[in-house]
Each structure stands twice: as C-alpha cells, then as structure tokens.
Structure 1
Amino acid sequence: MTASSYQHLLADMTLQEKISQLVQLAGPFFKGSTETGHITGPMAEMPITENHIINAGSVLGVSGAAEVRSIQKKHLEQNRLGIPLLFMADIIHGYKTIFPVPLAIGCSWDLKLAKRSAEIAARESSVSGVHVTFAPMVDLVRDPRWGRVMESTGEDSYLNSAFGRAFVEGFQGNDLTNNLESVAACVKHFAAYGAAEGGRDYNTVDMSERELRESYLPAYKAALDAGCEMVMTAFNTVDGIPATGNKELMRDLLREEWGFDGVLISDWGAVKELIPHGVAENEKEAALKALTAGVDIEMMTECYVQHLESLVAEGLLKIELIDEAVLRILALKEKLGLFENPFRGADIELEKEIVGHADHRQAAKELAAKSTVLLKNNKQTLPLDKQAKVALIGPFAESNDLLGPWSALGAREEAVTLRQAFEQIRPVNTFTVAEGSSIDQVSKEQIAQALAAAADADVVVMALGESSNMSGEACSRTNIQLPAPQIELLQAVAALKKPVVTILFNGRPLDITNVVSHSDAVLEAWFPGSEGGNALVDLLFGEINPSGKLSMSFPSNVGQVPVYYNHFNTGRPKGAPDAQVHYVSQYLDAPNKPLFPFGFGLSYTHFNYEELKLSSVELSPGSSIQATITVTNSGDVSGEEIVQLYIRDIAGEIVRPMKELKDFARLALAPGESKEISFSITEEQLRYHHKDLSFKSDPGAFELFIGSSSEHTFSQSFILLKEGGQSK
C-alpha cells in the first residue's frame, strides 16, 4: 500500500471509523480474546461501544501467538474496511527470557550486548504476536526515590543516548516490513518524566528550557535519529503544561523542529488526566487539547471516541488533524506489513521453539554478569576459594524474585536462583542455606538458624535486597535503605567475624552505608533476570571477572538526593572533602560526596593508568586532538576495564558542569598486559545550549579527564581556538 492508497482508504472511512483508529483498548474488550467479559475496575466504566471496538486501531497488553491471531481474525471479520489491529505491549527488558533491568544494563556499558538483548526481546515477542514495544525508556534519572529509575539507563545524557540508539536498533532491525523478527520501538516518556519533583511518580516537573534541551532531550532525539517509530507522552507537566496536552512540546518541538512524523501515543489514561491536572474542565476539552498537541492515540480512556466528532461538528477542531493522525497510524501498519499479512510474525509452532531458547538464556546470563558491579572487595575476599565452605543466607538465597518490575511475561519459576546455581556446581555438603529473614520481617528463630548455618562456614554470602514490587512505576520511596530486618540480620552475622560477601538485589541505588560497613565485599546485582543465579555464582567463584560500572550514583544519605556527577559548581565551592566548615556549599551533618560515584566499579584485578598525552594543547574548529593513555593490568587475572573520557568547559557563557562524559571504551587486558587507548576530541563535543538556546561552543580553556570513574581520573588542559586560530 502506498501513501496514495492511504488517502483512498481514508476517503472511504467515516468520521467515526477514523476516530476509532485513534483509540487503544486492552485485550478483554475484543472478541477472540480469552479474557473477553473480564473487564473490571475503571475499564468496566469506560463508555466504549461495540462500533468503537470493531473499528479500534490498536490493542494493549496482549501477546501469545494464538491469542493475537484469534483477536485479529475476529476483528477482520467485523471491520468494514479490513484495517488490521496493531498489538502493543510493555517488552521492557525481555519477553520471556528476562534480561537485567535497564538500569543494570546501563552499568554494563556494553552497547553490543544491549542491542542483542533488544533483538532477542523482539524475536520472542514478535513470534508471539507483538508489533510494538513500549521501549526504550530514556528518561534521565537523578533521584533514586523515584521507583522508575530501574527502567532508565542512568543519570547521564550521553550514556542514555548511546543505549537509546542501541535498543532501537535492536528492536527494529534494518527492515521492519520484511524482518518478521523485529518490532517497532516506542521511546518514552516525552519529556523529562525522570525529573519529577521529590522523586514522586506522576509529579510536577519544572525546569528551564535550556536545561530541558541540554540534559533531558538528547536521549529522546538519539532514539528518533536511530529511526524509532513511536513516541509516548509523559505523565508530568513541562513548563506548567501536562506533556499530553503540550502543543509547544509535542507539535512545535517534536514534530516541527525535529521532524518526527511517526505515531505519538499517550501513556495510560494521560489524556483524561488533563482534567485533574487542571488544564481541561472536562473530557471534551481534554480531547481537543491532546489532539491539537499532536497525540495520535489515546490509551485506555474514551475522550477521543466520545468527543472528537462533536468537536469537528462545532468547528472547534479541524478534521485535517484527525486525518493526519489516522494516516500516521495507517503508515505504521503498512510499514509493519499488516495489510498484506495481518498476523505478521505470530506463529504458534515457531513460538514454542523460539521463546526462551537456550541461546537467549545464555545472552541473558552474559549481560547479567556484565551488569553486576563490584562495589567493595576488602582483602580480596572475592573471588571465593572453590574449596571454601559457604553459608548462603538472606531472603534472596532461594528467592526467584530476580526478574524485577516490567517482566510480567517472564516466568519467575524459570529464573535460576542462587541456591539452584550453587547446587549445579558445588556438592551439597559444601554449602548451607538459611533464609535468615524475609524482605521486611525477621524473628529470633530465623536469626538463630542463620547463625547456625554460618557457624561452620569459611565465608558467608548474604543475599539481600528489595522485592520487585518495591521498585518500578508507582513505587516512590523516601526511605531507600534496605528494610531494617535485613540490616539486623546482616549485623548479627557480621558479629561472627567471618568474611561476609553481600549481594544486593534491587531496582534503584540505595543508601547502603550500613551494608558496606558490615560487609567485606559487596556485589550490586540489581534485578539480574532469568539467569541471575548462574551469572552471580560465576562471579563469586571467579569464572567471570566483574566489569560493571555504575550508571547512577549511590548516595551516602538520602538527604543528599539528588546527587549526580555532572553538577554545576557554586560561587562558594566545597573546601576540603566533607570539612565541617560554614559558608561553603556543603552539608554539615553528612558526607558530601556520593557513597559510590557515577562510573565506579571494581575488578578482581587492578588497572593502572599512566602517560596521559594530548597530540596538541590547541584545538581548531574542524580539526581534532588525540588524547591517549596507557592502561596496564597489574594483577594476576584477565579483566575488562571501561575507560571513561570526561571534559570540563572552564568558563562558558553560562555555568558548565564540573565534568561531562564524552566517550568511553571497553578494554580487555591479560595479566601484565598494557594497551594504549586513544580518544578523538573535536569541537562538536564541546557544544552546549547557550542562553539564547543556540547550540555552539565557546573558545577558551578546557580540562580533559580520563580514568576509571567520574572521580578517579587523570587530567590535561587544552584550548579551543576561535575560527582563524585565535584563543579566547
């Protein structure tokens, strides 16, 4: 079908048929669904007619080849023009094979594996009938109180942009039409949802347009530049206007300035939420504002189907806006090949073969291992001696709650637990297991059992953390420490004076000061996915050397939040680290640095950095400077180091961050091996948004940093010359 064909199809559609294309409903509304008739809660109160359903444009949250084929078949039997449905679902970090949560994937700094995880998720979901995934989520996150930080790849716009591109390329491949193992991606949440005040979900966002463009928009733009087919609106306000009804954000910036002509969809119920936000008096006004802003699909509320027709009749809404939205939806259906093959990749027999394939599980294991971050390792407690007798203690010792939020299609019972992984490689008599406590409760009997299990052990492995329902959407928290019962358990075990290794399972950076102080080694495992247990046991015993680096800072105290590496300086900077002095910008009652900074992560070996050199100390526009540094593995095991490049603009038109990530590289080194790594610095990397929002660089002095984290670096200075070769 060509663009002219869309016009002919559009000309054949009634206004009601057009409007129905703009509604997205959950599976139970449709004939052919096994859940038909099970519409409960707010959905049951939606005034959706049979005619709306027959002409609906898309389905939410349905998967499974048989289910999708059944609904699509019934729909096409009823739909007058034979327009197929789009099936969309939340495939965030895997379909049935579950990978680590995105925040963990960010800690891998491995774009190839991230892309591979999206390819596998697309392969499994497409054969199960899914056409569109509501991913990637590229919201910049700086506040761990917000539960949805687990869905982002972290606090840095450069890193988020790189992962956003990788995920889109993995989901969509190079040919959506002919590659039936691909799905269309939907980047979210546009825009700045990660900046919700107080880390409270759905809350207000208030920032300057310069900060929006500088820090929060780049990752969305990167995903769109990679060809992302859809965008989802955010729940929050932007400049005082809810995103879903924000014409300046959606139509002026997204569509006009950026040239996005794909499908824009609201988040669940967000059109109707314009009413409680206070920018619409009723559903009719909400529908008008959302469509005028450029929102093509209304998810799970009825404002469009109830009111667009009357808005057109009253001359308040141009029918051309409806036609544009319908054409965009039809174009996506055509790009996915649905007019020629409405069942697309949904294959009942192939689904059994592909979903959960062993190769997919192996990729999940590899990514889980690379996403794990070694935060502490005193006296080389890790890796464990293969002959050591281990006590495995804690609520995650046997728990299969390893998949994390946004993994509804994964099977917990298929997740490899720590105990199961231990049993696969160790004789049962070489380790003991005790729960010790639940997530949030502990008894004297449980602690006694834990101490008994640890009594004869050479080393204790504590498996602690959050349950998956403590992170994710609507899971904002003011207390981001581990639940008190787990701390009580850890302290009791640590009192035995045996080596203690703590593994953390969680979806957000936590305040783990009291965990670190009672542990000899700490592994941040996040929610590691289907193969979490296997990956972690390989890490514990040194079969794999940790290489993960934090993509989000860990606070020393929740009172520091938001704490992030690329902050601005002040006119009264901090003096000596954590000095208790007045009249400088610091806290007097707590550390001022994060407990663990962005980019931090240890290894079982040690990497030495030396001989940072610049090919020139002057950079001319149109040319480049080469920054080289030698990295040596000075330990006795092989390892991978993530070498990070940061730059600081010493004096700009407006204040600039203390440093900004500009590049990174993964380096594999054998024991004793040295390699020289080189980064290219260009004028383009030095640009930023000025007061007038122009995007350009300032001639003058810059400082370049290369190292193992945002805090552990070596530096050199250079000057950006003006056009014509003059300095500032």
Structure 2
Amino acid sequence: MFAKISVLLAFLSLSLRSIAKADGSSHVEVRDDLHFPFHARATNNDGSLPVYKNSKSSIEDRVNDLLPRMTLDEKVAQLIQGDIDGWMDMSDPLDDTLMFNQTGLEQMMAQKAGAIWGGYLAKWDKIVFAITVGQKYLMENTTLGIPALFQTEGLHGFTDNGTIWPSPIGLAASFNTDLLQQAAATIADEAEGLGYSQVFAPVLDLSRELRWGRVEENFGEDPFLTGEMGHAYVTGLQAGRRRNASSTAIARMASTCKHFAAFGSPQGGLNIAQVSGGERELRTMFLKPFNRACVESLAIMTAYSSYDGIPAVANTRTSDYHLDKPLFDLIGSLADLLTDIFGDYVFFNASLNGISPLAGFTQFLSNTSTKINYADGSKLWSNDESEIPAAVSAAQSSDVAIVMVGTWSLDQTLLWTPGTNATTGEHVDLSDLGLVGAQLKLVQAVKATGKPTVVVLVSGKPVAEPWIQANADAVIQQFYPGELGGLALAEVVFGAVNPSGKLPVSFPRNVGTTPVFYNYIKGSRPLDPGSVLDDGTLVFGHQASPPSMAYDI
C-alpha cells in the first residue's frame, strides 16, 4: 500500500505545477506542456523516439530529455549506490551458484539503481550473470529503462583474477607515464569484458604521512609526479569506447580519482582522521594532482575526512579548485611468499598467479651451476628467534647472503577478516616504521657472519632502519611487486637489469624524524643539538644506479 501511495505521489509531482497570480497568490493546475504521456513516460506523444533513447543524440540533449520524465524517487535512486549482493549471494569467493533473489533485485533497483557495486572476488561467470540480471531488469522492467554503472576496483590491476601490476608506489618509482598508461589499459580490458563500467582508481593522495596504512596506494609524496602518473592512469583506463557503443561514447571505462582531497595526511596517521592545514598547502600540494589528472576523469570520490575542520564532502574550498656463478643463500619469509607482497587491493588467492622471489631466483639460475641455500630465518610477525641459526648456517655456507625483510599486506578478503594481521593496507595504520618481529635481528645475525649481505626491503611504504643502511653491503628497495616480481628481483640482483627506479617518497631515519618529504620551505628551524648524526634519510628521487636518462619539466 505504501509503495502504491509513493508511486501515486510521484506521478502527481510530475503532472501538477504551481501557477503564480498577479496578486501574489498561486494555484495548482494540471501540466499540459510536456511532450510525453504520464502513463507511458518512456514514449513521446507524437510517437517519435525519445531523445534520451537516441544513441546518436548529444549527451546534453539526452539528459535534458530524460530528467523531466523522472519521478523524485527515480532521481534519488540514481544518487544512492547499490550492491549486487542485494540479489546475489557473494559471501564465498569460490562459489559458482548462478541464482538470484527476485525480491531483493526489485527492492535494490527501486532505491539504489544509478551505480551498483560489484567488485567482488568471484568466478567470472557469476559476475557476468549478476551484472546481466541487474541490467536486464533495469532495461526491461522499469519504466524508463535506465541502465546502471557497475563498479569495481582496479588500483594496480583488475581485482577479480586480473593481471597484477606493482602497487602504485612502485609504479611511480619508474617515473614512466607511458608504461603506466599501458598497464591501466589492461585493467580496462579485463573489467569491461565482464560488464563493469567504472573503476575506483587512481589514488591521488600524497605520501607525506608515512604512518598511514595506505601509503602503498599512492604515487608518492610529490604533487607533480602524482599528477603525471594519475593522468597516465586515467588516460589509459578511459581511452577508446566500449564494445558495441555508439559513436557519441567518450570513454570505455570511467576512472575515479580519489580521495578528494588531502586524505593522505590524517592526524596521527590514522585512517579517516581529520587533516589540518591551510589554504596555501591545500592548493600548492593536495589539489594539484587532481587538477592535472582528473579534468577528464568521469568520476571523483570524495575523502572521508575533514580538512581544517570542514568535512571534505561539503568543503567548497576543495570543490572550487579544480654475476660469475657464485654460491649464495636466500633468507627470509618474504622470499617464498606472494600473498603478503602483492600489497592490498588484490584478489583472493592472488598468490597462485605470481612468481615468488625463491621461484624467480630458481628460474633465473636454472641453466647455471649456482646453488641456492634457502632458509626461512624468522616469521614476519613473530619475535621468535629460533629459526635464525638455520639462516646463519646457510649464510656461512654461501658466498653471498640475500636477506628479504619488510612489511606485508593481505588480499581484499583476508585484510578485512578479523584475526588476521598485516603491517600495511587500508585501515592498517602504525605508530612505528621499523621492521616488525625478529626481522632486524635476522639481518644483524647474517651480517655478523662476515659474508657480503644484500638486504632487500619488500614493502608498501618506507622502512626506517638506519642500521641496515649503515651496515648492509647493498640495499634494494622493492615496493610490492606485480606477478613477475620474483623474477624481476633476480634480474636486478644478478645485473641483468639496471635498477633504474627512483624513490617516489623519502625514507626517514625513524618515525621520530618524520615528516621528511623534500618539498617544504627551508627555514625557521633553529638547531642546538646534543649530537649531530647522519640522519639516514633517503630523499625523493634517489637512484642507486647512474641515471641513463634525463627529465625535462
């Protein structure tokens, strides 16, 4: 009964209009100025095709024709995000049941029909089934037949068994916009094939608060680099038009620039905490990447925080701006793990799609006489030192020791599962930037053997361990890699590839010396120290190998 009353009121709101009289009073009368009948709003009075259904008409003309036909409820439903779990059971990533709930479908589409979240980890045929059911219902069983945008994730790869690229912080270390544009195009290829039309990326927050768990999702601390990499992502994702689309289509996938704005510098490094700053910092730093990358982006996601005490979603200040075969050993839990080193925003069982460092080294050395002595050394999250002697023994039996330590994250299923642990990722914020557990003691014990020791930091953010920088024979920074990260690491270690990456973010000596981003006004900092130390800082743009290229800005 209530639904029928609501529909009746909606029709009345369309069919009636208020007429003002000369004496200031007004009266209501039936409208006679519309070109469509109220009982069949998807048609025209003269029998012609409505402009909003004409794919050859301009977008502006189609929108102007559609809006007067819509009831208030229909307009509101376009503004609220729906979810395919309203008609599908998406609780099990491995389930392949192709069934839907008709009642749930109808209720969802009546209230939340404009954009629908579907970025689940599921079998591809189940995703296609869910999207097809939703779109067919909207097109064939609603008055106006307006299709929905179906949304998913694609921060560094399509998150339902798609190609996995390095985390954005690692992509930014390439300083290679052309390469990123090509990677973004693959994300659109894979998402479009299943029926998605919007991807929630890129992230354009700046990595200036390193305790924040989502540093790995950013392109670094610099607004210029972030803007250029973001623009490359948007261009690669959106370029072209969808299969079977009309000639007026302007993109094949909608990118979503986020989080607008200043979201990546929360107080205390705590996710969604307030951000404090002034107008100059807002415009000089936080808004610049959006101005560069998002002018052509079809969507923007607001930040969930406040800036200078004003919620981002209502902040007009932001909206107004537009080797010769040696014997070596490989040590560390990270050497034989994948789920932990792909970073967040990857899919369930993503480890099955990649090459671990141990597998990569084995593959690279398969036709040589070089032997690999592998030892676990320590668990990432544990203070237990009982496995360190085995690592020491492996190092003593080798010519070179390669120790892999760092941070870790989890896939989008496990990251949000109670009882699991990680040191980076959305909602995983830390008060310390040092290594967790017995990892540092493992490095120190291996180095004490006297064997040349290469430390590989596999992480989603800067690791602050000045002892390693001062004492290791070599340090390699590998931000969370893509599917071939294990093989790529082997190629760098053995000199097959020049390690030409540049740091997109500065590394502090410890959490107490943050912030350490390079671009601040140098001044008004008096110094009266008890002692002066090498601060151990590696700054933005640092490159280990001689550069073979120049950049013009």
Q: TM-score, normalised by structure 2?
A: 0.77
Look up the match of 1:502: 455
Q: Is the 8 A contact 2:326 2:400 kept in 1?
A: yes
Pairs within 5 Å for 1:154-193: 154-175=220-241, 182-193=252-263
| CA 243–492 in structure 1, closer or farther in 2 if over 3 Å, else same | same
Look up the match of 2:50: none
Pairs within 5 Å for 1:303-452: 385-400=323-338, 401-408=340-347, 411-427=350-366, 430-452=371-393
Secondary structure of 2:504's aligned partner: coil
Shift of 1:530: 1.1
Q: Is the 8 A contact 1:490 1:518 kept in 2?
A: no
The yes-or-no answer on 1:530 pairing with 2:468 is no
Show structure 2 runs of 5+ residues with no match.
1-53, 94-103, 410-421
The yes-or-no answer on 1:87 pairing with 2:177 is no
The yes-or-no answer on 1:465 pairing with 2:522 is no
| CA 585–642 in structure 1, closer or farther in 2 if over 3 Å, else same | farther
Shift of 1:586: 6.8
Whole-Å Cα distance in 1 between the matches of residues 536 and 520 of structure 2?
12
Pairs within 5 Å for 1:64-143: 64=124, 65-95=128-158, 96-143=162-209
Whole-Å Cα distance in 2 between the matches of residues 600 and 543 of structure 1?
21
- Residues 501-547 of structure 1 deviation map (CA, whole Å, 9 limit, x = unaligned): 11111111120212223421111001012111011111111110110
The yes-or-no answer on 1:566 pairing with 2:519 is yes
- Residues 104-144 of structure 1 deviation map (CA, whole Å, 9 limit, x = unaligned): 11111111111111111111121122211111111122121
The two structures, once aligned, show a CA RMSD in angstroms of 2.5
**Structure number with higher strand proportion:** 1
Pairs within 5 Å for 1:692-707: none
Look up the match of 1:7: 64
Pairs within 5 Å for 1:578-657: 584-585=526-527, 588=530, 591=533, 593=535, 595-603=537-545, 606=546, 640-643=547-550
The one-letter amino acid of 1:433's match is Y
- Residues 451-478 of structure 1 deviation map (CA, whole Å, 9 limit, x = unaligned): 2222211111111111113212111111
Secondary structure of 2:219's aligned partner: coil
| CA 37–124 in structure 1, closer or farther in 2 if over 3 Å, else same | closer
Secondary structure of 1:504's aligned partner: strand
The one-letter amino acid of 1:16's match is D
Shift of 1:243: 0.7
Whole-Å Cα distance in 1 between the matches of residues 491 and 65 of structure 2?
60
Whole-Å Cα distance in 2 between the matches of residues 148 and 444 of structure 1?
30
The one-letter amino acid of 2:134's match is I
Shift of 1:444: 4.5
Whole-Å Cα distance in 1 between the matches of residues 131 and 335 of structure 2?
38
Secondary structure of 2:326's aligned partner: coil
Whole-Å Cα distance in 2 between the matches of residues 430 and 37 of structure 1?
42
| CA 89–410 in structure 1, closer or farther in 2 if over 3 Å, else same | farther
Whole-Å Cα distance in 2 between the matches of residues 124 and 600 of structure 1?
34
Whole-Å Cα distance in 2 between the matches of residues 499 and 477 of structure 1?
32
Shift of 1:589: 6.0
- Residues 677-714 of structure 1 deviation map (CA, whole Å, 9 limit, x = unaligned): xx7xxxxxxxxxxxxxxxxxxxxxxxxxxxxxxxxxxx
Secondary structure of 2:294's aligned partner: helix
| CA 11–592 in structure 1, closer or farther in 2 if over 3 Å, else same | farther
The one-letter amino acid of 1:499's match is P
Look up the match of 1:453: 394
Whole-Å Cα distance in 2 between the matches of residues 513 and 155 of structure 1?
21
Secondary structure of 1:482's aligned partner: coil
Look up the match of 1:224: 294
Shift of 1:248: 4.5
Shift of 1:244: 1.4
Look up the match of 1:35: 90
Whole-Å Cα distance in 1 between the matches of residues 181 and 91 of structure 2?
36
Shift of 1:410: 7.2
| CA 598–588 in structure 1, closer or farther in 2 if over 3 Å, else same | farther
Secondary structure of 1:94's aligned partner: coil
| CA 440–546 in structure 1, closer or farther in 2 if over 3 Å, else same | same
- Residues 578-636 of structure 1 deviation map (CA, whole Å, 9 limit, x = unaligned): xxxxxx24765674755201110111xx4xxxxxxxxxxxxxxxxxxxxxxxxxxxxxx
| CA 235–434 in structure 1, closer or farther in 2 if over 3 Å, else same | same
The one-letter amino acid of 2:330's match is L
Shift of 1:418: 0.9
Q: Is the 8 A contact 2:383 2:437 kept in 1?
A: no
The yes-or-no answer on 1:211 pairing with 2:150 is no
Whole-Å Cα distance in 2 between the matches of residues 532 and 509 of structure 1?
18
| CA 407–249 in structure 1, closer or farther in 2 if over 3 Å, else same | same
Look up the match of 2:109: 53
Secondary structure of 1:461's aligned partner: strand
The one-letter amino acid of 1:83's match is I
Whole-Å Cα distance in 2 between the matches of residues 171 and 456 of structure 1?
49
Look up the match of 2:47: none
Q: Is the 8 A contact 1:560 1:592 kept in 2?
A: no
Aligned residues: 457
Whole-Å Cα distance in 1 between the matches of residues 438 and 91 of structure 2?
44
| CA 586–106 in structure 1, closer or farther in 2 if over 3 Å, else same | farther
The one-letter amino acid of 2:221's match is E
Q: Is the 8 A contact 2:454 2:472 kept in 1?
A: yes
Look up the match of 2:219: 153
Whole-Å Cα distance in 2 between the matches of residues 37 and 395 of structure 1?
29
Whole-Å Cα distance in 2 between the matches of residues 159 and 591 of structure 1?
30
1:545 to 498, 501, 508: 498
Secondary structure of 1:21's aligned partner: helix
- Residues 385-404 of structure 1 deviation map (CA, whole Å, 9 limit, x = unaligned): 24111211101111113211
The one-letter amino acid of 1:118's match is A
Look up the match of 1:26: 83
Q: Is the 8 A contact 1:112 1:166 kept in 2?
A: yes
Secondary structure of 2:183's aligned partner: helix
The one-letter amino acid of 1:415's match is G
- Residues 246-284 of structure 1 deviation map (CA, whole Å, 9 limit, x = unaligned): 34533xx15xxx4xxxxxxxxxxxxxxxxxxxxxxxxxx
Shift of 1:99: 0.9
